[in-house]
């Protein structure tokens, strides 16, 4: 569940893959729209008010990117593009546990695949930029977050088991 910075919209994901968009008016919720772009449970929602965009991730392995406030789908990203890449990981669940839309210093989408302790980075147009693979430093990663400083730059912060 995420709310836009101006507290105008509340976005909620369901186990069936729907994203329910509520309009917040005088502390009352009114359904604005229901989006059905995923085929499985929503795992993460991120909002970036600077970009006027939000994105959703699901256990189906896709990330969907939308424009605010029109709620128009502008792109989709399949986290693992090739069957050979998926086969390399076996039967593990390969979906983004957390996603982040960053606007500065570079507009991009960061996806954290918890089962592989892997960060994948995409442009906001869906182009693959790169990844940080599992190693001794990332093996113990916990839930990452994005922090925005006073200069409006985004920083990825995460904790480890240590």
Q: What is the pLDDT of residue 151?
A: 54
- Tally of structural domains, the chain: 1
Q: What is the pLDDT of residue 1?
A: 87
Q: What is the pLDDT of residue 65?
A: 95
The CATH number that applies at residue 79 is 2.130.10.10
Q: Which two tokens stand for residue 39?
A: 């085929």
Rounded mean pLDDT of 131-155?
A: 59
Q: What is the pLDDT of residue 31?
A: 94
Split at pLDDT 50, 70, 90, the class of 60 is very high
What length does the chain have? 162
* H/E run at residue 88: helix 83-88
Rounded mean pLDDT of 88-94?
A: 59
The per-residue pLDDT for range 93-130, each reduced to its tens digit, is 789 988 888 887 778 888 888 778 788 889 888 889 88
Rounded mean pLDDT of 78-93?
A: 61
Q: How far apart are CA 91 and CA 116, in angstroms?
A: 12
Domain with 72, as residue range(s), is 2-157
Q: Is residue 21 part of a domain?
A: yes
Q: Is residue 162 part of a domain?
A: no
Q: How far is CA 7 from the centre of its chain?
A: 19
Q: Is residue 140 part of a domain?
A: yes
Q: What is the pLDDT of residue 161?
A: 61
Q: What is the pLDDT of residue 103?
A: 81
The per-residue pLDDT for range 8-55, each reduced to its tens digit, is 999 999 999 999 999 998 889 999 999 998 999 999 999 998 899 999
Spatial CA neighbour of 140 closest among 160, 113, 120:
160
């Amino acid at each position: 569940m995420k709310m836009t910075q101006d507290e105008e919209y509340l976005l909620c994901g369901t186990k069936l893959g729907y994203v329910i968009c509520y309009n917040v008016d005088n502390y009352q919720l009114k359904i604005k729209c229901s989006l059905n772009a995923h085929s499985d449970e929503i795992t993460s929602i991120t909002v970036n008010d600077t970009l006027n965009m939000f994105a959703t991730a699901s256990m189906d392995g896709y990330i969907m990117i939308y424009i605010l406030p029109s709620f128009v789908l502008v792109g989709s990203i399949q986290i693992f593009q090739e069957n050979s890449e998926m086969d390399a990981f076996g039967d593990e669940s390969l979906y983004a546990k957390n996603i982040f839309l960053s606007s500065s210093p570079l507009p991009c989408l960061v996806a954290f695949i918890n089962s592989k302790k892997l960060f994948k980075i995409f442009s906001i147009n869906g182009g693959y930029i790169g990844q940080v693979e599992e190693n001794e430093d990332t093996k113990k990663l916990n839930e990452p977050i994005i922090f925005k400083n006073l200069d409006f730059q985004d920083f990825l912060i995460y904790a480890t088991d240590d």
